[in-house]
Amino acid sequence: METKHTPGPWSYWSGYNPLDKIEAQVTAEDGDIVIASYNHLIAEGEANAKLMAAAPELLGALIESRQVIATALKVGAPDWFDTDDKVAQHATVKKIDAAIARATA
């Protein structure tokens, strides 16, 4: 799948840089900054930055999981899920497809 975002893996760095007053940054493998800072004034700020750093890996795992679920539905319930269109109507698959579409739009 072709993506529009900076390729992963991303990493997370935390600390205070007085020069540019950054609290944290999420960087690509080559060191380019993906996300420059987080809001240190809210308790969730650092956790949010860590979640963002995991985004490419999470997206990849979700895409792979969708394929596994589709196969399991077709094998486990072939009378109900005998086509890709029927698999796409499963409630969990719908949520996965929506999340993937949102992340790759």
pLDDT digits (tens, 9 = 90+) for 32-82: 777 766 666 667 777 777 888 898 999 999 999 999 999 999 999 989 999
Q: Where are the domains of the chain?
A: 10-53, 56-104
> Measured between alpha carbons, how far is 62 from 74 in angstroms, rounded to an integer?
18
> Measured between alpha carbons, how far is 99 from 97 in angstroms, rounded to an integer?
5
Looking from the CA of 68 toward its CB, the CA atoms found within 13 Å total 6
pLDDT range class, residue 98, cuts 50, 70, 90: very high
pLDDT range class, residue 1, cuts 50, 70, 90: low
Residue written as token pair 């539905």: 73
Residue 94 scores a pLDDT above 80: yes
pLDDT range class, residue 18, cuts 50, 70, 90: low
